[in-house]
Amino acid sequence: AAWEKQVRHSSTPRRVNGFSVLVTGAAGFIGSHCSLALKKRGDGVLGLDNFNDYYDPSLKRARQNLLSKHQIFIVEGDLNDGPLLTKLFDVVPFTHVLHLAAQAGVRYAMQNPQSYVKSNIAGFVNLLEVAKAVNPQPAIVWASSSSVYGLNTENPFSERDRTDRPASLYAATKKAGEEIAHTYNHIYGLSLTGLRFFTVYGPWGRPDMAYFFFTKDILQGKPIDIYRTQDQKAVARDFTYIDDVVKGCLGALDTAEKSTGSGGKKKAPAQLRIYNLGNTSPVPVGRLVSILEGLLNTKAKKHVITLPRNGDVPYTHANVTLAYKDFGYKPTTDLASGLRKFVKWYVNYFGIESKHSKETQHFDESS
């Protein structure tokens, strides 16, 4: 295969800094940022992504180009391709897997429920089946989601809070992932760390997310919907900036225990860990929109509508004490500063002439 030739002849996935990391979903938003950060500090990185068209694949290709400039190669393939995954582990002795590939998005689950089951449940199981049989087993850090807290009313959310009321099928598949991880940890001694990300945003972000399409629609003079809860309260999110999340992912990889199993045989149970990675400061969607209006110097056409029953939860709010204690996770970017960086990237990427384009001429592609 083309990738094998590439991988065998490049130094890309070899260990430099001690780690050799398989990043699944490397052409995605969080995966591309994490791959770059790992590479920059000297770790070996190989990506895997199926480049699906859930959102514009040209953005995934652009991220891939950026990664390839940094000598990071992405194998094009699906999580459900067992022989491909086995082959990857045969060719590269991965010490870690950063598993970010998934069907993301909350509301799309009502249109295409099966894609969530395929990638987030079947695909995850497939990866774990392959990883458990590798000797020595890699430590796995994977993306869970704040959505597992569902309709909780505790505020803020702590890892021990109940997660038995998922409001969307997306949330249910992420919750299922946590249960499945528990099983593979218990039976096969796989080292597994789940990260519950909270509405992550930033440059190179996802076009299906509100901050992204609000920016597009505001610039195009199109109306936007701002959800309010059934009882007319503001909907709020603990919006978390990508660089903070990347630091959290690297911290989780650095503190992951070695797996205790090998070749599918369990020795002693490695830890199963779950952490919130949020910003600890929920912001109402209306405030997100006014920050964007300011940055874009354009008034939004706002429609405030009652939140339909579409899988959304009324608010999210992370308690990150555990991640701070175990690997020093501390979010440092507030929403206004983070959105400023996003808008700077956005106008540059889409080549938009605006009051901002002057400021963005010296845009750094990776920030």
Closest CB to ligand NAD: residue number:
28
227 binds, among ligand NAD, ligand UGA, none (CB under 5 to 8 A by kind): ligand UGA
Greatest Cα pair distance in the chain: 61
Structure tokens of 49? 């992504």
Residue 123: what residue type? G
CA distance 158 to 168: 20
101 binds, among ligand UGA, ligand NAD, none (CB under 5 to 8 A by kind): ligand NAD
Nearer to ligand NAD, 178 or 260 (CB): 178
Instruction: Please identify which residue in 33, 60, 99, 237 interacts with ligand UGA, judged by CB under 6 A.
Output: 237
- Strands 223-228 and 96-99 come out as unpaired
**Residue 232: partners with Cβ closer than 8 Å, 6 or more residues away:** 306
Q: Among positive and negative, which fits the CA dihedral 349, 352, 355, 357?
A: positive
Contact mark string toward ligand UGA, 167..206, x via CB under 6 A: ------------------------------xxx-------
Stretch that binds ligand UGA, among 6-14, 223-231, 319-327, 334-342 (CB under 6 A): 223-231
Interaction between residue 266 and ligand NAD (CB under 6 A): no
Interaction between residue 129 and ligand UGA (CB under 6 A): no
Could you confirm whether 170 is annotated as catalytic?
yes
CB 31 within 8 A of CB 47: yes
Residue 241: what residue type? Y
Instruction: Please identify which residue in 20, 50, 146, 163 interacts with ligand UGA, judged by CB under 6 A.
Output: 146
What secondary structure letter does DSSP report for 258?
Answer: P
CA distance 137 to 160: 28
Stretch that binds ligand NAD, among 75-83, 153-161, 218-226, 256-264 (CB under 6 A): 75-83
Residues making contact with ligand UGA (CB under 6 A) = 104-106, 145-147, 197-199, 209-210, 225-227, 235, 237, 285, 312, 316
